[in-house]
A and B are shown apart, each in its own frame.
Chain A
Amino acid sequence: DSGVTQTPKHLITATGQRVTLRCSPRSGDLSVYWYQQSLDQGLQFLIQYYNGEERAKGNILERFSAQQFPDLHSELNLSSLELGDSALYFCASSVEGLALGELFFGEGSRLTVL
């Protein structure tokens, strides 16, 4: 158990809909990373927050947004969903703001868009 909790574990929705994925980082970790894993794209970095502030941005679509709340949990919002958004979405946490140490991954939220 990594200590990182992601909900929901599975989500099935239709094109055009909006979903929210939630992540609770490991106790004491200030950084939260979001990754998208699909069969053809591998593990793609979406966005990182550190202590409530956006720290780094990757290949995140404009239809996607995220935030980190004062209690350090984070949410990833996906809107106007398309079939191609079907993927496994991982949250990972670490103590540092810089990418120097170990990342602790949650078990992921599997999104299926029909």
Chain B
Amino acid sequence: AQSVAQPEDQVNVAERNPLTVKCTYSVSGNPYLFWYVQYPNRGLQFLLKYITGDNLVKGSYGFEAEFNKSQTSFHLKKPSALVSDSALYFCAVTPGGQNFVFGPGTRLSVLP
């Protein structure tokens, strides 16, 4: 079965420090991987995706993610966190283009 794990319910980081939000996946076939962000009382917004090619993917708002096939991971990173990055982050996988499977979400708090 396809699944996505986000091992941390909550990540706290100080403003201007680097941040990492972790994601691991289990899928048969080639994974297509995504990160979405949800601000309070809003729908999810797309940040970035990995389909193929370079393992380091750059996305919106200065975020990037690194695909690691051997570790089946797709961690979200940002070199310098902003208070406005505080939100709920979801990792998602689509096994070979079939339906999106979302992780449980990680709440990021950036402290001033």
List chain A positions with a Cβ less than 8 A from chain B: 2, 4, 33, 35, 42-43, 45, 48, 56, 58, 90, 92, 98-108
Contacts and interface: CB of A to CB of B under 8 A. Distances in A.
Interface of B: 32, 34, 36, 41-46, 49, 51, 90, 94, 97-105
Given A100-B32, A103-B46, A105-B45, A42 B105 contact: yes
Contacts of B105: 42-43
Contact of A99 (B36, B46, B97, B104): B97
Contacts of B98: 56, 98-99
Nearest to A41: B104
B46 A107 contact: no
Nearest to B94: A99
The residue in B32, B42, B44, B46 that gathers the most chain A C-beta atoms within 10 A of its C-beta is B44
Given A99-B32, A100-B32, A48 B99 contact: yes
Given A99-B32, A100-B51, A107-B42, A45 B101 contact: yes
Contact of B43 (A48, A56, A102, A107): A107
Nearest to B98: A99
A50 B90 CA distance: 24
Contacts of A4: 43
B100 A90 contact: no
Contacts of A103: 36, 44, 46, 100
